[in-house]
Each structure stands twice: as structure tokens, then as C-alpha cells.
Amino acid sequence: MAKPNLHSLSKMDFTKVVPARQAKIEAAPASPVPSMQSYLPNQLAAALHPAVQHLKVSAVTERGPDVRSYTLVPDEAKGTKALAYFSAGQYLSLSLAIGQSHLTRPYSLSSSPRESLAGTYELTVKGAEGGLASHFILDTWAPGTEVTASAPLGEFTYEPLRDAKTIVGLAGGSGITPFRSLASAIADGDEDASLVLLYGSRTLRDALFLDEFRALEARCPRFRLVNVLSDEPQEGCEQGFLTAVLIRKYAPEGDYSLFLCGPQAMYRFVDAELGALSLRRKFIRHELFGEYRHPERDPAWPGTAGGPWTLTVTVCGETRQMPCSADETLLVSMEKNGLSVPSRCRSGQCGWCHSRLISGEVYIPESVDGRRLADREFGYIHPCCTFPLGDVCLDVPPFRP
């Protein structure tokens, strides 16, 4: 028997569909059907992507000089009953009120994703030179502190359709935090990959999570840690920097993915080494490193220095003026002057701070310029990675927590 096709269907039958559908709509009750209120995809979306998470600090762990880990749990009194699940490598964007300023900062989750199902996150914070947010957290957070955070964000995650089965991780300083999460997920059986982690530190005392990593190595043959020390020789450790030669020494034969997370200086150094590795671009992943600093060190820097200049900001029809200078981003200038503006990644990628440049000259480092082509053509910027070169006028969207 011949299979039916479009030509065999009666067109007149289709004319009955709309009246039949309308009759069912009119016969339906006005209130929502109970089964629709519990529609599972909607429940899952709400659990994974809440608009906001209200948390509180339950414990503080000392990790070293000016480094602490904070265990966060749901603040049920404020409406967060359970934590959103996350993929190893994602971050939380924290909303912080510091004096007259309301600002956001991204911090990678350093705990295993599985722990979120038991009701805990862990963030590890290291004091940064001149870091307003990091020192505020280190000075004020204690058990019981209330924390407002986003859902888990970011794409520094293992993806089997894109990444090779073996990941070579390059970490520097506090850039170790997402790798601790990834190593735990591999050991827990939640990620089907292997991880060789090259961790660059000045000395072995500066390296974080050593005991945890050794315990993970003992129970998981798919994880290996190699400490790379720049300032001292130590038995069992490599000495020097994260070079192409060192990567080749520990990388497997064939394809592997290269994940990088660390300070801006590490990215500059390693990126210069990558050409010697002949890796396909899809296998090289950079984590967002947050605030871009020292734009004057870029080869493309136009040589302009100085200020203060005037930054004129319009938000929903209201205009304010404030000082700005070439050594800090437009976002930082706005936050310092008490203006709450939307931001999340603070690295030029997520687009949350997307604003229109009305007038003025600015400098945007190419390495963090995540704008679309249309944004560049029609004058839109990301203030989180844009530096003024004179007086600037911006049209900024309203604050979104």
C-alpha cells in the first residue's frame, strides 16, 4: 500500500481545525488547569534559572593569607528553598552594596556540582590588589551574612560535542577555583572526561586546595595535578612557567582541550605560547578573568593618559555627570559614583551591561571585545571593558539584579 503524502491529504479537513480548536478553548475553564501549573519543563527551568538566589553564609574556611572559602546555603526566610544546580566551571554574580555603591562581581563556584543538590555552594575569595569587592567580602562576610546572587552563569564548562576527552587545565593563582569544581565532578562521575591540571604558583605554600587535590588523585585515576612553581624548586613539582614545552610534556597524543583560568598577565603569556601547539581553535577555552586592568600595557593602547574627564550617563531619561579617567573602566566609574548599572561577567562577554555610546572616544581591548558586529556598527559598547579617552556620553539600561 502506498504511503500517504501531502498530496493525498484533503485540504477541506484543514478548514475544520480552527473551529474545532476554538470550540475547545471556549469550553475550557477560565482558571489554569492544575496539571499545567505543575508542567515539568516549567518547574525545571525555574529551578535551574531563578531570577535571583537569596543565600547566607554558613561557614568560613581559612585557605591562606588573604584567602577564604565561604559555604553558602539557601536563605529560606527570603524565599530560596533550594540551590540551582550548575555545571563545573560556572560562576555566580554577586550583588554587593558597599557604601553608596551597588556593584556586582563574578566568582567561580569552587565546590562540586553534586554538593548543590545537598544544599551548599562554595566560593573561594582571594584579596586582589585594589580589589574593592574582594576585600569587602574578606572583611565583612561571616556565618549568617546574607548574600544576593544570580543563577549559575558562564560557559567555561566541559562540552562533549565540542571538547576532547582529555582536558589540559592551566591555572594561575585563584584561577584554580573552577578546576577544583571540575576535578570533583570528574571524580564523582558527573563529567565523562580526564583532567591534567598544570597549576602555576610562586611557591608551594601559595597553591590552594593541595590536600583536596591529593585526595581526588588518590580516588580518581582520571585526574592528575602538576604544580608549577616560578620562585622555588620543590621535589615533585615543575619549576618555571606554563610554557608550550611544559604543556607538550603532559598533554596526551592526539586531540586535547586546553582550558585556561588565571590572571590577565598569565593569559598574555600563555596566548603567546599557543601558536607552537598547533591546536584547533575550538579546543582552546579561556575563562573570563573579570575586571580588565592596565590597558596601557596593551600594544594597541593609543598612548592617551589622564583625566579626570566628564562621564555623562542617561538612565531612563534621567541624566547624571561624574568624573572618569583612562585607568579604569566606565563601569567602575559609574559604580564609584553610586550609580547602579547592570553587569554580570565584567569581562565584555555576557552583554548584560550593553549600552549606547552617544559621544566620545573610548578604548576597548580586542581580547575582551565581545560585541556583535551590529553593536560595533551602531555604536554600542560594554562599559565593563571600555576605557574613556576623553569626555564620554552614555545611554545605559536600568539596573537589573
Report the percent of the chain where pLDDT is more than 70.
95
Scanning 262-329, the segments in alpha helix (DSSP H) are: 264-273
Question: How confident is the model at residue 34, as a pLDDT?
Answer: 60
Question: How confident is the model at residue 316, as a pLDDT?
Answer: 86
pLDDT of 261 higher than 80: yes
Q: How far is CA 317 from the centre of its chain?
A: 31
Q: How many CB atoms lie within 10 A of CB 83?
A: 23
pTM for the predicted model, two decimal places: 0.82
Q: Is 276 helix (H, G, I), strand (E, B) or coil?
A: helix
pLDDT of 5 higher than 70: no
* Span 55-109, pLDDT tens digits: 999 999 999 889 999 999 999 999 999 999 999 999 999 999 888 778 889 999 9
Domains and CATH numbers, the chain: 49-149 (2.40.30.10), 166-286 (3.40.50.80), 309-395 (3.10.20.30)
pLDDT of 47 higher than 60: yes
The grid coordinates of residue 100 equal 553608596
Strand partners for 321: 312
Sheet with 91-98: strands ordered across:
101-108, 91-98, 146-149, 53-64, 67-74, 121-126
pLDDT of 122 higher than 90: yes
Do 260 and 266 form a contact (C-beta atoms < 8 A)? Answer: yes
CA distance 225 to 250: 10
Q: Is 326 helix (H, G, I), strand (E, B) or coil?
A: coil
Question: How confident is the model at residue 339, as a pLDDT?
Answer: 87
The average pLDDT across 385-393 equals 95
Matching residue, cell 475544520: 16
Higher pLDDT, 101 or 246: 246
pLDDT of 251 higher than 80: yes
User: From the CA atom positions of the chain, what is the Rg in Å?
Assistant: 25
CA distance 232 to 252: 27
DSSP state of 186: H
* Span 15-41, pLDDT tens digits: 788 888 888 888 887 776 665 556 778
* Span 285-340, pLDDT tens digits: 998 767 788 888 888 898 776 778 999 999 988 999 999 999 899 999 998 888 88
Question: How confident is the model at residue 20, as a pLDDT?
Answer: 86
